[in-house]
């Protein structure tokens, strides 16, 4: 009976289930970009270094947890031990999302899962005697990698599988400098593919099935509107990606 329950829970999710979980997915993205923006302002904004220490630590911890959740959503495989975890692969045909996400260089996230564990979720001895460099959280870098992967997710996902106004509500909390970075990433992919109109289809992709790309006549998507916002912010994006000067446990 237990084996049967596990098998049933691994079945493909219904459109209603996907729309429902997309509301929680949107929250995770809003929190990721919102906390990254707040920490960026504390490092190099007009009120640099003025955030109270407990508040900054709360932002760091929140950022780490939401980044960890989204990293798992985008890159994890289905596991029988966690059958109810929502994953990006749930929104696509078998193998489709894995082929799409290969375009994203994700090495900056290699230690994210472990750090979120022993620096936030567990009181671990791994916190002891860490050098200052290892304590830094590269907020912009992490948010950029997740943002690029999620841009591809929006490029290919069927919009009817997302909750109402998903992209519009995300746009309100996706900082312009991050959008500009994603825009350049997408433009680079199109250039390498020799197709300036849209990204090349991944292996096994079914034209017209994944909402925002519709054969040779792609409909304007909310992702396009996000891109326009990103372009508007490009003139202000000249600084390099930054690393937080403080981390958990540092005063």
Mind listing the pLDDT tens digit for each residue in 182-205?
A: 878 877 887 777 655 556 566 555
For residue 63, pLDDT beyond 80:
yes
First to last CA, the chain: 53
> Which of 2, 165, 9, 184 minimizes the C-alpha distance to 85?
9
Mind listing the pLDDT tens digit for each residue in 147-177?
A: 999 999 998 999 999 999 998 899 888 888 8
Q: What is the dihedral of CA 148, 109, 30, 184, to 10 degrees?
A: -20
Question: Lowest-pLDDT range, 23-27, 39-43, 81-85, 194-198?
Answer: 194-198
> Which of 143, 237, 131, 137 minimizes the C-alpha distance to 184?
237
For residue 6, pLDDT beyond 80:
no
d(CA 91, CA 11) in angstroms, rounded, equals 12
The DSSP symbol for 16 reads H
Number of Cβ atoms within 10 Å of the Cβ of 194? 7
Return the residue matching tokens 């002891």: 128
The CA-based diameter of the chain, rounded to the nearest angstrom, is 60
> Which of 83, 59, 91, 95 minimizes the C-alpha distance to 155?
91
Mind listing the pLDDT tens digit for each residue in 218-232?
A: 334 444 444 443 444
DSSP element (H, E) containing 115: helix 112-116
């Amino acid at each position: 009976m237990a084996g049967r329950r596990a098998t049933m829970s691994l079945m493909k999710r219904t459109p209603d289930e996907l729309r429902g979980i997309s509301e929680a997915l949107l929250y995770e993205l809003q929190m990721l970009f919102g906390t990254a923006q707040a920490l960026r302002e504390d490092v190099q904004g007009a009120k640099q270094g003025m955030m109270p220490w407990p508040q900054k630590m709360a932002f760091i911890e929140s950022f780490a947890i939401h980044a960890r959740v989204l990293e798992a959503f985008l890159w994890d495989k289905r596991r029988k031990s966690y059958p109810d975890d929502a994953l990006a692969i749930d929104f696509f045909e078998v193998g489709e999302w894995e082929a799409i996400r290969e375009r994203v260089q994700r090495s900056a996230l290699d230690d994210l899962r472990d750090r979120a564990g022993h620096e936030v979720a567990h009181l671990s001895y791994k916190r002891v005697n860490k050098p200052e460099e290892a304590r830094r959280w590269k907020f912009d870098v992490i948010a950029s990698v997740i943002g690029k992967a999620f841009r591809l997710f929006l490029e290919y996902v069927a919009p009817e599988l997302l909750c109402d106004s998903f992209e519009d509500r995300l746009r309100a909390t996706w900082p312009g400098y991050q959008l500009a970075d994603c825009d350049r990433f997408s433009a680079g992919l199109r250039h390498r593919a020799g197709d300036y109109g849209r990204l090349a289809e991944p292996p096994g992709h079914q034209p017209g099935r994944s909402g925002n790309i519709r054969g040779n006549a792609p409909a304007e998507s909310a992702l396009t509107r996000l891109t326009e916002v990103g372009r508007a912010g490009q003139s202000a994006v000249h600084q390099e990606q930054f690393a937080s000067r403080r981390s958990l446990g540092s005063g």
